[in-house]
Amino acid sequence: MKQNKIIAAVLILSLSASAYAQQSGVNTKNPKGTLHVDGARDNNASGDPTAPQQANDFVVTQAGNVGIGTVVPNAKLVINNGTAGAAIKIMDGTQANGYVLTSDANGVGAWAAVPAFRPTILGAFPPVPATVNANAGSGTIVYSGVSITLAPGKWAVNAGMTFNNITTDIWQHCYLSSNTASVAQAGFTHLGPAGTSTTYAGILLKAAKALPADVTGTGFISGSSVIEVTAPAGVTIYLVFQKWSTTIFSYNTNSPENYFYALPIQ
């Protein structure tokens, strides 16, 4: 008789285990999914937990949905933080301030700077106004004194340059360079059809006078160049001019028409 009671008890336990195997609870006797963890052990003994009680819960449903902070996830992963911000944190070494989570063609995610979320970058002009002449500098170029520092990515770099004291009609070239003493492109590339030969250019005329009484000319060159910064840490780019053997023009950094800035693009 005693043996029969033992067998019956084992059968009851087995049936009970089979019945409850559909839903397992940790810190709760009232699981709401295939797996339900009540972190603070504060849920109701029966019925659904309240929103504050669900805030510390973790649930896996029969459909394979996962809920964090909710016991009724209606998607494969639902996170209810209950407050603004800090609902998710992914640190894989690519994270940075202002970056967004992107994916490649295979759906592998990584943090990246998206142009729509990157600000326009303004060029740096000397705090003390300076004037450079066409025959200043060394080598074949003249450094304007103006620069801009850009992060990795594609940029449209826009420049506007006022030239004064023009004494000779010339076709003038202006370049973006990673060096103040030569035309170099370390850390960035031009994406336009001219490639490494890309330049801002225009004609400077002695007869184009800013005022009728002027004896020399005034000219303006502007343009936009699409570049890609490839240096992982970013790069400082300098605005430089074609050099001449004589002082056939001057460039004043504080001319009101001057500008130098970069717009982020896709």
Q: With a cut of 90, say whether residue 255 has pLDDT above it.
A: yes
- Measuring CA to CA, which residue among 191, 190, 153, 160 is closest to residue 174? 160
Q: What is the pLDDT of residue 206?
A: 97
Q: What integer best gives the mean pLDDT of the chain?
A: 90
Tell me the domains of the chain and their CATH numbers. Answer: 20-88 (no CATH), 121-265 (2.60.120)
- Report the SS3 class of residue 197: helix
Mean pLDDT score, 252-257: 96
Structure-token pair, residue 6? 């033992």
Strand runs (DSSP E) across 61-140, as ranges? Answer: 66-68, 77-79, 100-103, 109-112, 121-122, 131-133
The pTM of the full predicted model, rounded to 2 decimals, is 0.63
Least confident of 39-48, 123-132, 155-164, 236-245: 39-48
For residue 264, CA distances in Å to 68, 115, 138, 231 come to 37, 5, 32, 16
How far apart CA 115 and CA 97 sit, in angstroms, is: 14
